Amino acid sequence: MLAIGIFYYYVVPENAVWVPKCPWWLLTGTYCPSCGIQRFLHLLLTGHVWSAFCMNPFLLLSLPYATLAVLGKWYNIHGVFDKLNKWIYSRKVLLAYVALFFVWWAIRIVFKV
């Protein structure tokens, strides 16, 4: 994960033709919910938080949930994060996240955001 962070800190995805492009965008010409993730990572890692937010607000707003999910699974030594895992992976929270994911996708398609 550190290597990915270092990579996206130094590589500007817009200027590198060898950086993979979104297959959904290549096939349909519409944005998927995570389109721009490479540019988002570069902007976030270089301290341009507002620009990263403008690139893809859903990704930035999903970071706390993703961070809690990683903490709960990877660092659950002696059951310290059992209550957190119960909440993070509860049916209601997962369904809410999936619903937001598809709402964001619809917004991206309709408004070309």
pLDDT at 82: 95
pLDDT at 113: 82
Instruction: Kindly report the pTM of this predicted structure.
Output: 0.84
Over the stretch 67-109, which tens digit does the pLDDT of each residue have? 999 999 999 999 999 999 999 999 999 999 999 999 999 999 9
Rounded distance, CA 4 to CA 7, Å?
5
Over its C-alpha atoms, the chain yields an Rg (Å, rounded) of 16
CB 31 within 8 A of CB 108: yes
Contacts of 39 (CB under 8 A, 6+ apart): 13, 14, 55
Q: Is the pLDDT of residue 40 over 90?
A: yes
